């Protein structure tokens, strides 16, 4: 396992491996061949909680724009749209997740990857991503508490 940073989310620590890059929408991008393998960070998995359904609205080989709606994920917390992290091309999807999306929860940094992606965008380092988390954590906590109080 590569060295990693951690981000404290209350009593939970989100692992942030340093062998990959990150996006502002809480995805990791690990260099593979001429592109990246993309998955959810531990931070985003913790907020989603148990993932049990995943669907894609685009096909392999599709060129996408940053923030374009590309799919949908359902978890114990919510049904959420999935957005492209950057302009690029979705080369292929992890077909294992169609049968068992729980791999996102149990092995998110390895077998639970989402898709392979090509982009020319400038990505965040692990250190920059942790700085981003620090800057949004207070707001995130307020949102979480608001959701809990609405239940």
Count of domains for the chain: 1
Q: Is residue 79 part of a domain?
A: yes
Q: Is residue 48 part of a domain?
A: yes
Residue 125: which domain range?
4-142
Q: Is residue 107 part of a domain?
A: yes
Q: Is residue 151 part of a domain?
A: no
Please give the angle made by the CA atoms of 121, 42 and 24, to the nearest 5 degrees: 30
Q: Grade residue 108 by pLDDT with cuts at 50, 70 and 90.
A: very high
Partnered with residue 15 across adjacent β-strands are: 6
At 112, which CATH number? 2.40.50.100
Q: Is residue 149 part of a domain?
A: no
Q: Is residue 42 part of a domain?
A: yes
pTM of the model: 0.87
Query: Rounded CA gap, 113 and 27, in Å?
Result: 10
Q: Which two tokens stand for residue 1?
A: 């396992």
Q: Is residue 148 part of a domain?
A: no
**Mean of pLDDT values over 69-95:** 94
Tens-place pLDDT, residues 8-19: 777 788 899 999
Q: Which two tokens stand for residue 97?
A: 């997740």
Q: Is residue 147 part of a domain?
A: no
Tens-place pLDDT, residues 44-81: 898 888 898 999 999 999 999 999 999 999 998 889 99
DSSP labels for 62-122?
Answer: EEE-TT-EEEEEEESS-EEEEE-SSSEEEEEE-THHHH-TTHHHHSTTTTT--EEEE--SP
**Mean of pLDDT values over 132-136:** 88
Query: What was the pLDDT predicted at 116?
Result: 98
Query: What was the pLDDT predicted at 67?
Result: 96
């Amino acid at each position: 396992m590569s060295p990693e940073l951690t981000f404290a989310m209350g009593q939970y620590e989100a692992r942030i491996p340093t062998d990959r890059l990150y996006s502002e929408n809480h995805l990791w991008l690990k260099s593979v061949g001429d592109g990246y393998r993309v998955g959810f960070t531990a931070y985003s998995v913790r907020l989603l909680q148990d993932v049990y359904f995943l669907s894609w609205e685009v096909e392999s080989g599709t060129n996408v724009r940053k923030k374009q709606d590309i799919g949908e994920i359902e978890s114990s917390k919510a049904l959420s749209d999935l957005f492209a992290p950057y302009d690029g091309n979705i080369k292929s999807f992890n077909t294992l997740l169609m049968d068992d999306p729980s791999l996102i929860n149990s092995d998110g940094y390895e077998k639970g990857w989402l898709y392979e992606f090509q982009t020319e965008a400038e990505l965040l380092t692990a250190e920059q991503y942790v700085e981003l988390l620090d800057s949004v954590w207070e707001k995130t906590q307020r949102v979480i508490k608001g959701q809990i109080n609405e239940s």
